[in-house]
Structure 1
């Protein structure tokens, strides 16, 4: 889905005039950050579904072709229709974000637009490929041979992942700016490829793509978990539950490994951000790992400390020195409390989702080993489904918390070490009006999207044959 693919529409003359007018007032800066933050937080949910839902849809269609079970074909048709709706709405919200980059942050785009233009342009190409093949996939369902139709969905999956990759590369550049030289206050010797493939790109892109797939998987799981709790225990709803759940549960442990990789990247390349994430104010060794807590007077209060925990995680030794916030001026300190609590929220919810996958695996193993599926079903099915019904919300909150860590932990820099956020914002008055307008537009889009999706949920694209209702069996949990 498009996020930032309209850089060519930005007027460089307006950038220069905005920079000449001086920095924005604090109120304007707060309005600009609130508008951008809300727009991104709203759009990123649809972007995650745009990455993961096509893969789920193709999986259901492929299983249906192999097994001949109409439940899977029905799921694929149903999910494809929802995918079309979400893609259309995501295109609107992504376009809004594109214009916000130029309207709210002319200082950033005026100076560095030529450096980070490549990933945005590539994301635009990926978006158009996704749109073209999505149209073919939806229109040609009964007009192409089944296997040929399945293949038309592959470019949708590839383009969705590529779109996420290119956009996150641009954000990674803001954390590790590369690919240019500053000479006389001007950007020269631009190398767009080096800028896009900066040191932060690998951990950030992998982390985000896996997060998107988890959000898509667990959100879909939650919908069908609620249906199963309401007694709709047929083949269609069981398949709708188990396909996305297994998909997301398998990804979750890999995401935790990638998260550890990203944290180690911070220790090497952005130690100030790591210090804010973990609430480390003083550089030292034998640094504890603090769970929760509020930053006050240069220290985390009310948290639970694990002795030597952070030093062990960073360097596998209690004597590992961890850089604290005392190495940078107070004016360059990120907001510690919100960054630290957002990180703990992300990790805590990730462990909850990992627990659900482990529960499922254990239940499957016990059912196969002991043959006590009925007993296990009576004791554990409903609590498990209740927790699974919350997994979608948990995955979304974890993903939003992760982005909060990424953005708040970089403050006060919009480009790490080079440009302050205050110097990038549009100094023109009226940004608060724009914020209220955007809130109204997104409220209308939310209501319309929920209404359409609820209408789709009440309909089945094709009838399900009664004799096929209970063909497929699953492990009982």
Structure 2
């Protein structure tokens, strides 16, 4: 393993690990606040217990996300010093603002966790909402920085020098809105279906049914609404990428030759040497329509891109197919959920219905990881699109493979600790509910 591959592998592992906790940190506080709101409105003690249980989960994921996010900031300087030397002054603003949002989130999470019975009930609820809003802002700001890497603006690049830096223009680059929208919806989809799937499984156990039904309903509502909106966001992103990053779109669709009325490829195995796709289902003109809103529009293929600047087609194409395929599957489950509401929840007590959502528990996060693979691998070989190559940004210091091994061990340890803590929370749940039930029944 050479140092460039080791650096890329370490960054992929770090981002893939952190993005899960970042998404949960963006979304779970809104689940928690919704449950809290329902408690304040109905005085149903189950909503209060649900809020407290979810708040403990938010705390666990917040701490883990803070650790993994801090490690990422060090890795940027450790692995890509040449990138940070030039890019840091340009897109440092979103990182600085993200740090501010992080501190606000930490402060108000403390208020919420220890504010029961100490604050005005509605002020206490607002502290939970601020945790969610600041977490969402934190995620959007980081995505804005990544958007800048895909659409670098806010400076003039003259003779290898970065001049006339405008951090506001860098923050609001051409990619930030589409990426932030797609990422935010993906966070709600993945977290919503994961939480709903866990509670669907616990419903099948036949204990604390009312508690888990309330939890399932809140989580799946957020996840289902976001899943139905996600294809719209995907369409906006595809049209944007077709103009800004035609090489990425061509790799996503394994579109080797520039053509009009370009077909949309579903599935298939790209043959990069022969520049063709085998075993694929083609829909004539659909790619032209998705990219430009016109079935007869020309879509740029990889033949128009210098070969040394081609993204890895196999990885990008398969990741894109997985993302879209799982996304559409979750859209179908979302419509099934809303049909169950129309049926007055008669399906929600059926084991087959619950099993579908249990099976869907990891699918949102698999789609999320696939989407980030498309974003990052599809930009290669550039670390700053059409400005700086990734190979030119890597550290010249040897031995990155050892750093990769150490960080891998750290992330595996963190994953094990989080899994243990969450398992302990779930195992303790029946005891907590039984104790509260007994306390409420005794005068």
Shorter-chain TM-score bucket reads over 0.9
* Structure-1 residue corresponding to 2:263: 288
Question: Equivalent of 1:173, from 148, 154, 177?
Answer: 148
Question: Equivalent of 1:225, from 179, 200, 215?
Answer: 200
For the pair 1:103 / 2:72, whether they are aligned, the reply is no
For the pair 1:423 / 2:392, whether they are aligned, the reply is yes
For the pair 1:198 / 2:173, whether they are aligned, the reply is yes
* Distance in 1 (alpha carbons) for counterparts of 2:75 and 2:355: 39
* Distance in 1 (alpha carbons) for counterparts of 2:283 and 2:403: 45
Contact residue 242 and residue 292 of structure 2 kept, 8 A: no
Contact residue 264 and residue 287 of structure 2 kept, 8 A: yes
Question: Equivalent of 1:406, from 375, 390, 404?
Answer: 375
| Per-residue deviation, 1:56 | 0.3
Contact residue 69 and residue 468 of structure 1 kept, 8 A: no
Question: Equivalent of 1:439, from 393, 408, 413?
Answer: 408
For the pair 1:465 / 2:437, whether they are aligned, the reply is yes
Instruction: Report which structure shows greater RCO (CA 8 Å, sep ≥6).
Output: 1
| Per-residue deviation, 1:176 | 0.5
| Per-residue deviation, 1:465 | 2.8
Could you list the runs of 5+ residues in structure 1 that have no partner in the other structure?
1-25, 470-477
Question: Equivalent of 2:357, from 385, 388, 398?
Answer: 388
* Distance in 2 (alpha carbons) for counterparts of 1:410 and 1:251: 26
| Per-residue deviation, 1:165 | 0.9
Alignment of 1:188-267 (within 5 A): 188-232=163-207, 234-267=209-242
RMSD: 1.7
* Distance in 1 (alpha carbons) for counterparts of 2:68 and 2:318: 28
* Structure-2 residue corresponding to 1:148: 123
* Structure-1 residue corresponding to 2:157: 182
| Per-residue deviation, 1:467 | 12
Range that drifts further, 112-121 or 455-464: 455-464
* Distance in 2 (alpha carbons) for counterparts of 1:390 and 1:115: 44
* Structure-2 residue corresponding to 1:276: 251
Q: TM-score, normalised by structure 2?
A: 0.95
| Per-residue deviation, 1:442 | 1.0
Runs of 4+ in 1 over 4 A off after TM superposition: 466-469
Offset from partner CA, 1:366-415 (integer Å, 9 cap, x none)? 348xxxx3xx567xx21221110122300000000000000011010000
Q: Matched residue of 1:187: which SS?
A: strand
| Per-residue deviation, 1:314 | 2.3
* Structure-2 residue corresponding to 1:352: 329
* Structure-2 residue corresponding to 1:321: 298
For the pair 1:41 / 2:16, whether they are aligned, the reply is yes
Contact residue 251 and residue 313 of structure 2 kept, 8 A: yes
CA, structure 1 residues 467+136, in 2 after alignment: closer, same or farther (shift >3 Å)?
closer
Q: Matched residue of 1:293: which SS?
A: strand
Range that drifts further, 421-430 or 179-188: 179-188
